């Protein structure tokens, strides 16, 4: 099966981007993840730690901060679980039509192309994400849509559903205050019977969570129902990334298969 041999060799960090500017020494705000500062001496710039539009606008900055410095692993973990699910199902990655939900600057798409997926569609809320993906990884996506899936009309959803996606992946861990569970549920609704999903969440959002903030999002109940009604469910717990203060930010990745009709 094409791509199966490289499942455990997926890169932990991305390839260097030859177009990166001189980012200089990257520094973080001393109390919490409020801002980051980068650039050579005499041309230092400060932007919000989670201002992804501004981060994506600087070639190589996202990779430097989140992959090289903070060791983000969710992309590798989710793609690994997806690849293992394909191997168990006997499905060739070359026949897969994948939606990369929250595609960002295309790093996850790069991982999926290295796995050998045949068709790839990106979706992200941030317009600069598509610009960065086209700049840094041209040709990675067959289509890249910008917008809030939660506000798309039924006709817009049907156009995406008409591509007959076989898998939906979200490659950065969902945390409290990130993607509402109703939006993720809508994204999963694009899959037909036998479709594979794979995504990661923060510990407060797992089915067994009693964390008040997590429960208030609706994710624990949503996750419980999803995992009880789909097949071949597997999970993996790992360090999603390190925080700027060096502490661990944990993630739990899940993979499963939408049930076939009888």
Tell me the domain boundaries of the chain.
74-257
Pick the CATH number of 74-257 from 3.40.50.720, 3.40.50.150, 3.50.90.10, 3.30.750.24: 3.40.50.150
> Which residue in 183, 191, 203, 190 sits closest to 253, CA to CA?
203
What SS3 state is found at 11?
coil
pLDDT at 237: 96
**Main-chain phi, psi angles of 39, to 5 degrees:** 115, 160
Strand partners, 170: 199
Q: What is the pTM of this model?
A: 0.90
CB 126 within 8 A of CB 53: yes
Low-confidence ranges of the chain (pLDDT < 50): 1-19, 262
The residues near 216 (Cβ < 8 Å, ≥ 6 apart) are none
Per-residue pLDDT at 149: 93
pLDDT at 220: 96
**pLDDT for the residue 99:** 97
Return the residue matching tokens 């008040």: 212
């Amino acid at each position: 099966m094409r791509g199966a041999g490289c499942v455990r060799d997926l890169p932990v960090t991305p390839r260097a981007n030859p177009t990166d500017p001189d980012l200089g020494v990257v520094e973080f705000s001393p109390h919490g993840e409020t801002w980051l500062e980068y650039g050579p001496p005499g041309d230092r710039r400060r932007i919000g730690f989670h201002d992804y539009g501004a981060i994506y606008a600087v070639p190589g900055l996202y990779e430097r901060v989140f992959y090289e410095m903070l060791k983000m692993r969710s992309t590798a973990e989710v793609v690994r679980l997806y690849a293992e699910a394909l191997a168990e199902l006997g499905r060739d990655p070359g026949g897969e039509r994948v939606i990369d939900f929250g595609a960002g600057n295309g790093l996850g798409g790069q991982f999926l192309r290295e796995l050998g997926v045949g068709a790839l569609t990106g979706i992200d809320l941030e317009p600069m994400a598509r610009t960065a993906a086209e700049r840094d990884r041209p040709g990675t996506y067959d289509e890249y849509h910008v917008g809030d899936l939660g506000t798309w009309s039924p006709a817009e959803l049907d156009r995406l559903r008409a591509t007959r996606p076989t898998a939906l992946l979200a490659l950065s861990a969902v945390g409290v205050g990130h993607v509402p569970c109703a939006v993720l549920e809508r994204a999963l609704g694009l899959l037909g019977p036998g479709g594979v999903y794979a995504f990661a969440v923060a510990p407060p959002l797992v089915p067994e969570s009693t964390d008040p903030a997590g429960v208030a999002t609706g994710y624990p109940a949503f996750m419980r129902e999803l995992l009880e009604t789909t097949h071949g469910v597997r999970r993996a717990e790992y360090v999603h990334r390190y925080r700027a203060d060096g502490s661990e930010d944990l993630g739990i990745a899940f993979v499963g298969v939408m049930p076939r009709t009888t």
